[in-house]
């Protein structure tokens, strides 16, 4: 009889732990060793076999695929004009465009923040930064500055008002470390914006690992000092998900 009760108690404990696991994982990320933040699992065609909050991290696109970023149909497919409207940038804002690529969004934001503002175009590939500089010179844009970051730190020269990641976050191979560094380089009340292809919609013609659901983004941000603000749904095939840095207590 005692062994029977012990078995029931053990099962109850296991069920309780399973039910609370996502919350504990989110709140305890900073205290955990790096090795326990991630899991290793089956490596799929477009992934790296490394998992974060149950999501397999996707391979990042190299500079050899940069022409895809400048495809003519992108303006109609993604409507960057609507994204600019949703961001509500102000003259003088300091913005970090993480994974900026060739600067498809950088130059648009540069116009919004004006000559007193600045856009840091962050890349981990020097080749991409060379392309960024070339594109900005062609457009006569002078307030976009290239920054060579790492996979764990954007290396921003100063605190910023906004960090935006357009179809980039799902490729971070150290998402907790990168987001931790981002939050530390945000001004008080600064915003973090994720623009991701909608993972909820099977009709969005993008490989599954290169899409993200709104729920997944929110889940992963529980590990950071960020509060959810809103999701903008005006874009044709992406959602624009906005968070704000929590006030320090």
Give pLDDT tens digits for 135-148. Answer: 999 999 999 999 99
Residues 6+ apart with CB under 8 A from 160: 94, 95, 96, 120, 185, 186, 187, 190
> What is the reported pLDDT for 158?
97
> What is the reported pLDDT for 34?
62
Per-residue pLDDT at 30 exceeds 90: no
Tokens coding 151: 């996979």
Pairing status of strand 47-52 against strand 39-40: antiparallel
Per-residue pLDDT at 17 exceeds 50: no
Rounded Cα distance, 106 and 121, in Å: 7
Q: Is 148 helix (H, G, I), strand (E, B) or coil?
A: strand
> Taking Cα atoms as reference points, which of 170, 164, 151 lies closest to residue 119?
164
Provide the sign of the torsion angle of the four alpha carbons 183, 186, 189, 191, taken in this order. negative
CB 97 within 8 A of CB 192: no
> What is the reported pLDDT for 247?
86
> What is the reported pLDDT for 63?
79
> What is the reported pLDDT for 32?
56
Question: How many C-beta atoms surround the C-beta of residue 204 within 10 A?
Answer: 15
Tell me the per-residue pLDDT of 38-62, one tens digit each, with 9 for 90 and over. 999 999 999 999 999 999 999 988 8
Would you put residue 139 in left (φ > 0), alpha (ψ -120 to 50) or beta? alpha
Tell me the per-residue pLDDT of 180-224, one tens digit each, with 9 for 90 and over. 999 999 999 999 999 999 999 999 999 999 999 999 999 999 999
Per-residue pLDDT at 109 exceeds 50: yes
> What is the reported pLDDT for 152?
97
> Taking Cα atoms as reference points, which of 75, 73, 71, 47 lies closest to residue 59?
47
Q: How far is CA 91 from CA 110, 115, 136, 148, 154, in A?
A: 9, 8, 19, 25, 23
């Amino acid at each position: 009889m005692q062994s029977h009760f012990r078995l029931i108690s053990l099962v109850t404990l296991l069920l309780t732990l399973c039910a609370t696991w996502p919350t504990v994982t989110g709140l305890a990320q900073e205290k955990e060793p790096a090795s326990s933040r991630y899991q290793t699992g089956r490596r799929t065609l477009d992934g790296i076999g490394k998992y974060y909050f149950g999501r397999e991290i996707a391979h990042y696109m190299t500079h050899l695929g940069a022409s895809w970023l400048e495809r003519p149909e992108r303006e109609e497919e993604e409507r960057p004009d609507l994204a600019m409207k949703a961001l509500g940038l102000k003259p003088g804002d300091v913005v970090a465009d993480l994974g900026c690529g060739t600067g498809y969004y950088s130059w648009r934001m540069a116009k919004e923040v004006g000559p007193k503002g600045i856009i840091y175009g962050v890349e981990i590939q020097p080749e991409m930064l060379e392309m960024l500089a070339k594109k900005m010179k062609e457009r006569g844009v002078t307030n976009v500055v290239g920054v060579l970051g790492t996979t764990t730190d954007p290396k921003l020269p100063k605190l910023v008002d906004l960090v935006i990641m357009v179809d980039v976050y799902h490729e971070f191979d150290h998402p907790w470390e990168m987001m931790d560094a981002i939050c530390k380089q945000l001004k008080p009340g600064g915003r973090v914006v994720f623009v991701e292809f909608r993972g909820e919609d099977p009709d969005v013609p993008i490989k599954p690992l290169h899409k993200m659901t709104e729920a997944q983004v929110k889940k992963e941000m529980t590990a950071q000092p960020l509060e959810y603000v809103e999701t903008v749904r005006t874009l044709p095939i992406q959602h624009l998900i906005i968070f704000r840095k929590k006030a320090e207590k």
